[in-house]
């Protein structure tokens, strides 16, 4: 077996240690300090002692990893990040109330689309006219004092644009989509009203989404909604209002534990900076053979889109990469070109292999 370096944007590479643990648990689960369960974790009731322990450990480890204060609840939900983009409006805004959106890429558009049936979406700032290559200056944002929340996309997975700082939004709570950068660097949760993240990039497998929400905000009445769309109901049921995605939750727990064992977010922040620097230096030092158009101050450390100087070389580049054991590099259809997603499970050696391949390809095609 030879596992490739996988640069896929999500579902994305998982740590090999996690996959091996899951493989061992697949036939028969033995939890820490527990007797053998006699069945796979995926076959056990979510109400049984084995899974309740898995769920509880996942939350304890996630709280410790990210540094989530007690004033914040953590929910583990199905439905992906896209579902949260609708639920935040339903749960926290009165019908038709303004909500401010800062638009910095494709996923900001998705967030707006999902919220629009429920709130008066106001675009407080946008970098769309310039092709989503920068974060609009905070001084130029036009925020509404009566907004239910301000929404940002902390890291735009397709456009490769990232907030470097947490913007100040006064009394209006800041809501952020951290799907593609959570746990990649220290995060001051206390500056946010709500953070959501689909797990399939930095936290584990697809099929489960984490919502971190300031508890006092849950007292807002929001809009009429069924219990299954109500964060309070999910919290009251410990995220088990209905059958939770237990296998995904279990894998998330293993991944989060792995990140803690590796040394936590500070260690991953350092690795991320090193990996990103290596890749951007290779692109910038290629005399225009490769190109990344994002404003240097807003370049993502997680998702790095790049273009070959001649798009006719794309197919050959990708085929050669595959042969070199580098997969998942094809850019999103919105932008074309290439994209390397280098989340926490991507070792520095993977980026070294990619940049060596890029230099070699350039040498032979220049
Ligand atoms: N937000 C961001 C930043 C994303 O990268 C993605 C998926 N790539 C989404 C939202 C949508 O997530 P999901 O497919 O889990 O709904």
Report the number of distinct structural domains present in the chain.
2
* 155 Cα nearest atom in ligand 1: 3
Same domain, 144 and 45: yes
Distance CA 211, CA 214 (A): 10
Same domain, 54 and 104: yes
317 is in which domain, residue-wise? 263-365
Same domain, 257 and 268: no
Contacts for 347 with CB less than 8 Å, ≥ 6 apart: 5
Same domain, 317 and 359: yes
Same domain, 249 and 279: no
Same domain, 244 and 268: no
Query: Where a domain ends, among 262, 290, 315?
Result: 262
The answer to whether residue 1 is domain-embedded is no
Query: Where a domain ends, among 244, 262, 280?
Result: 262
* 83 Cα nearest atom in ligand 1: 16
Same domain, 269 and 127: no
The answer to whether residue 8 is domain-embedded is no
Beta partners for 209?
77, 198
**Do 203 and 182 form a contact (C-beta atoms < 8 A)?**
yes
Atom 14 of ligand 1 has which residue's CA nearest to it? 80
pLDDT of residue 223: 97
**What are residue 33's phi and psi, to 5 degrees?**
70, 10
pLDDT of residue 77: 98
The answer, yes or no, to whether any atom of ligand 1 lies below 6 A from the CB of 222, is no
CA of 179 to the centre of ligand 1 (A): 6
The SS3 assignment for 42 reads helix
The answer, yes or no, to whether any atom of ligand 1 lies below 6 A from the CB of 245, is no
Query: Where a domain ends, among 227, 262, 297?
Result: 262
Distance CA 120, CA 40 (A): 47
* 178 Cα nearest atom in ligand 1: 3
Same domain, 267 and 231: no
- Which 8-state DSSP code applies to residue 182? T
The answer, yes or no, to whether any atom of ligand 1 lies below 6 A from the CB of 81, is yes
The answer, yes or no, to whether any atom of ligand 1 lies below 6 A from the CB of 98, is no
Give this prediction's pTM: 0.98
The answer, yes or no, to whether any atom of ligand 1 lies below 6 A from the CB of 180, is yes
Distance CA 33, CA 193 (A): 37
The SS3 assignment for 51 reads helix
CA of 111 to the centre of ligand 1 (A): 9
The answer, yes or no, to whether any atom of ligand 1 lies below 6 A from the CB of 343, is no
Q: Residue by residue, what is the 3-state secondary structure of 247-291?
A: HHHHHHHHHHHHHHHHCCHHHHHHHHHHHHHHHHHHHHCCCCCEE
pLDDT tens for the chain, 366 residues long, are 689 999 999 999 999 999 999 999 999 999 999 999 999 999 999 999 999 999 999 999 999 999 999 999 999 999 999 999 999 999 999 999 999 999 999 999 999 999 999 999 999 999 999 999 999 999 999 999 999 999 999 999 999 999 999 999 999 999 999 999 999 999 999 999 999 999 999 999 999 999 999 999 999 999 999 999 999 999 999 999 999 999 999 999 999 999 999 999 999 999 999 999 999 999 999 999 999 999 999 999 999 999 999 999 999 999 999 999 999 999 999 899 999 999 999 999 999 999 999 999 999 998
The answer to whether residue 2 is domain-embedded is no
3-state DSSP percent of the chain in helix, strand and coil, to 5: 40, 15, 45
CA of 8 to the centre of ligand 1 (A): 13
Axis-axis angle for helices 246-262, 49-66 (nearest 10): 40
CA of 32 to the centre of ligand 1 (A): 32
Token pair 């929404």 is found at 151
The answer to whether residue 7 is domain-embedded is no
Same domain, 106 and 166: yes
Same domain, 248 and 335: no
Same domain, 58 and 150: yes
Go through the chain and tell me how many residues it has. 366
Atom 12 of ligand 1 has which residue's CA nearest to it? 81
pLDDT of residue 232: 98
Same domain, 154 and 283: no
pLDDT of residue 366: 82
Q: CATH code at 47?
A: 3.40.640.10
Top mutation candidate among 76, 80, 198 for ligand 1, by most atoms within 8 Å of CB: 198
Distance CA 301, CA 293 (A): 14
The answer, yes or no, to whether any atom of ligand 1 lies below 6 A from the CB of 82, is yes
Q: Annotated catalytic sites, by residue?
A: 107, 177, 201
CA of 196 to the centre of ligand 1 (A): 10
Q: CATH code at 339?
A: 3.90.1150.10
Core vs surface per residue 164-195: b (16+ CB within 10 A) or e: eebbebeebbbbbbbbbbbbbbebebeebbbb
């Amino acid at each position: 077996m030879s596992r490739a370096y996988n640069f896929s944007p999500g579902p994305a590479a998982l740590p090999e240690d996690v996959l091996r643990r899951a493989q061992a648990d697949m036939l028969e689960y033995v939890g820490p300090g527990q007797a053998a369960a006699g069945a796979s974790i995926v076959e056990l009731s979510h109400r049984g002692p084995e899974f309740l322990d898995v769920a509880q450990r996942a939350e304890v480890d996630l709280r410790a990893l990210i540094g989530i204060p007690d004033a914040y609840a953590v929910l583990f939900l199905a439905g992906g990040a896209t579902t949260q983009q609708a639920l935040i409006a339903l749960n926290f805004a009165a019908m038709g109330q303004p909500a401010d959106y800062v638009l910095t890429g494709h996923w900001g558009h998705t967030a707006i689309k999902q919220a629009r049936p429920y709130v008066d979406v106001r675009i407080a700032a946008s970098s769309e006219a310039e092709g989503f290559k920068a974060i609009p200056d905070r001084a130029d944002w036009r925020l509404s004092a009566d907004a239910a929340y301000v929404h940002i996309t902390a890291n735009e997975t397709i456009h490769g644009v990232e907030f470097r700082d947490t913007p100040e939004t006064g009394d209006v709570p800041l809501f952020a989509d951290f799907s593609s950068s959570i746990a990649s660097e220290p995060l001051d949760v206390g500056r946010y009203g709500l953070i959501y993240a689909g797990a399939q990039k930095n936290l584990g497998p697809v099929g489960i989404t984490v919502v971190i929400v300031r508890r006092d905000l849950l007292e807002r009445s929001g809009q009429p909604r069924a219990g299954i769309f109500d964060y309070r109901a999910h919290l009251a049921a410990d995220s088990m209002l209905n059958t939770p995605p237990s296998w995904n939750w279990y894998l998330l727990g293993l991944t989060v534990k792995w990140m803690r064992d590796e040394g936590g977010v500070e260690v991953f922040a350092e690795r991320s900076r090193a990996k990103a620097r290596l890749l951007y230096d290779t692109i910038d030092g290629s005399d225009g053979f490769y190109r990344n158009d994002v404003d240097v101050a807003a370049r993502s450390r997680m998702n790095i889109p790049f273009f070959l100087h001649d798009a006719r070389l794309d197919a050959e580049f990708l085929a050669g990469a595959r042969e070199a054991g580098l997969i998942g590099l094809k850019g999103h259809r919105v932008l074309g070109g290439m994209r390397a997603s280098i989340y926490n499970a991507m070792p520095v050696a993977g980026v070294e292999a990619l940049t060596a391949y890029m230099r070699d390809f350039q040498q032979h095609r220049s």
